[in-house]
A and B are shown apart, each in its own frame.
Chain A
Amino acid sequence: MMNPISRYRDLRRAGVLGLNARNACYIMTRNQRRLYPLVDDKIQCKRMLQQRGIAVPVLLDSIRGQYEAGHLDKRLQQLDKFAIKPASGSGGDGIIVIVARRNQRWISAGGSAYSLDDIQFHVSGILNGMYSLGGQPDAAMFETLIEPAEVLKSIAPFGVPDIRVIVYRGIPVMAMMRVPTRMSGGRANLHQGAIGVGVDLVSGVTHAGVMQNHVVELHPDSGASINDFSIPDWPDLLAMAARCQQAIPLGYLGVDIVLDERHGPQVLELNARPGLAIQIANQCGLRKRLQRVDALGEPESMSLEERLACVAKIT
Chain B
Amino acid sequence: MQMRHWMWLSLLLVVAGVALIIWRVEVYGYPLLPGAEDETWTVQARVRIDPEEGPVKLTLKLPDKTPGLARLREDFISRGFGLDVQDKPDQRSATWSIRRSGSSSTLYYRAQFYRDPENQAFAPVPAYPDVPRLDEPFATAMRSVTDRARQKSADIASFATAIIAEINASAPSEEISLFLNSPEYTGKKTEVAQTLLAAARIPSLQINGLLLVESERQSELTPWLAVHNEQQWLFFDPVTGDEMLPDNLLVWWLGDTPAVTARGAEITSLQWSVRRNLVTSLELAERRADEHDSGLAALSLKQLPLQAQSVYATLLLVPLGALVLVLMRNFIGLRAFGTFMPVLIALAFRETGLLAGLVLFGLVIAVGLILRMYLERLRLLLVPRLAAMVTIVVMLMLLISLFSAALEWEVGLSIGLFPMVILAMVIERMTIVWEERGPGDAMIESAGSAVITVLAYLVMGLDVVRHLVFVFPESLLVVLGLTIACGRYSGYRLTELIRFRELSISQ
Map CB proximity to A onto B324-363 as digits: 1 under 8 Å, 0 otherwise. Answer: 0000001001000000000000000000000000000000
**Is residue B258 contacting chain A, with contact meaning CB distance below 8 A?**
no
Q: Is the CB of B500 within 8 A of A125?
A: no
Q: Is the CB of A16 within 8 A of B492?
A: yes
**Is residue B503 contacting chain A, with contact meaning CB distance below 8 A?**
yes
Inter-chain contacts of A130 with B (CB < 8 A) = 382, 432
Query: Which residue of chain B has the shortest Cβ distance to A135 in the bound complex?
Result: B382
Q: In the complex, which residues 111-131 of chain A have their Cβ closer than 8 Å to any Cβ of chain B?
A: 117, 121, 124-125, 128-130
CB of B465 to closest CB in A, whole Å: 26
Inter-chain contacts of A117 with B (CB < 8 A) = 379
CB of B25 to closest CB in A, whole Å: 36
Q: Is the CB of B503 within 8 A of A283?
A: yes
**Is residue A18 contacting chain B, with contact meaning CB distance below 8 A?**
yes
**Is residue A11 contacting chain B, with contact meaning CB distance below 8 A?**
yes
Q: Is the CB of B501 within 8 A of A7?
A: yes
Q: Is the CB of A19 within 8 A of B333?
A: yes
Q: Is the CB of A20 within 8 A of B497?
A: no
CB of A63 to closest CB in B, whole Å: 14
**Is residue A192 contacting chain B, with contact meaning CB distance below 8 A?**
yes
Map CB proximity to A onto B477-507 as digits: 1 under 8 Å, 0 otherwise. Answer: 0000000000011111110111111111111
Q: Is the CB of A20 within 8 A of B436?
A: no
CB of A104 to closest CB in B, whole Å: 17
Q: In whole angstroms, what is the CA distance A221 to B496 when docked?
A: 29
Q: Is the CB of A280 within 8 A of B491?
A: no
CB of A29 to closest CB in B, whole Å: 9
- Interface residues of A toward B: which range? 35 or more
**Is residue B217 contacting chain A, with contact meaning CB distance below 8 A?**
no
Q: Is the CB of A20 within 8 A of B381?
A: no
**Is residue B4 contacting chain A, with contact meaning CB distance below 8 A?**
no
Query: Which residue of chain B has the shortest Cβ distance to A95 in the bound complex?
Result: B436
Q: Is the CB of B382 within 8 A of A128?
A: yes
**Is residue A14 contacting chain B, with contact meaning CB distance below 8 A?**
yes
Q: Is the CB of A20 within 8 A of B491?
A: yes
Q: Is the CB of B500 within 8 A of A279?
A: yes
**Is residue B437 contacting chain A, with contact meaning CB distance below 8 A?**
yes
CB of B493 to closest CB in A, whole Å: 6
**Is residue A25 contacting chain B, with contact meaning CB distance below 8 A?**
yes
**Is residue A24 contacting chain B, with contact meaning CB distance below 8 A?**
yes
Query: Which residue of chain B has the shortest Cβ distance to A122 in the bound complex?
Result: B379
Inter-chain contacts of A14 with B (CB < 8 A) = 503-505
Map CB proximity to B onto A4-26 as digits: 1 under 8 Å, 0 otherwise. Answer: 10111011111010111101110
CB of A23 to closest CB in B, whole Å: 8
Q: Is the CB of A18 within 8 A of B493?
A: yes
Q: Is the CB of B491 within 8 A of A21?
A: yes
**Is residue B52 contacting chain A, with contact meaning CB distance below 8 A?**
no
**Is residue A311 contacting chain B, with contact meaning CB distance below 8 A?**
no
**Is residue A191 contacting chain B, with contact meaning CB distance below 8 A?**
yes
Inter-chain contacts of A23 with B (CB < 8 A) = 490
Q: In whole angstroms, what is the CA distance A279 to B489 when docked?
A: 21
Q: In whole angstroms, what is the CA distance A6 to B504 when docked?
A: 10
Chain B residues proximal to chain A, CB less than 8 Å: 330, 333, 379, 381-383, 432, 436-438, 441, 488-494, 496-507
Q: Knowing that A7-B501, A16-B500, A24-B490 touch, tell me 12 more A-B residue pairs with CB under 8 angstroms.
A: A2-B498, A2-B501, A7-B497, A7-B504, A8-B491, A24-B489, A124-B382, A128-B382, A129-B382, A191-B441, A283-B502, A284-B503
* Shortest Cβ-Cβ A-B pairs, 6 listed: A128-B382, A10-B504, A18-B492, A21-B490, A24-B490, A121-B379
21 interchain pairs (CB within 8 A)? A2-B497, A4-B497, A7-B501, A7-B504, A10-B507, A14-B503, A16-B492, A16-B503, A19-B493, A20-B493, A24-B490, A93-B436, A125-B382, A128-B382, A128-B383, A129-B382, A191-B437, A192-B438, A213-B499, A280-B502, A284-B503
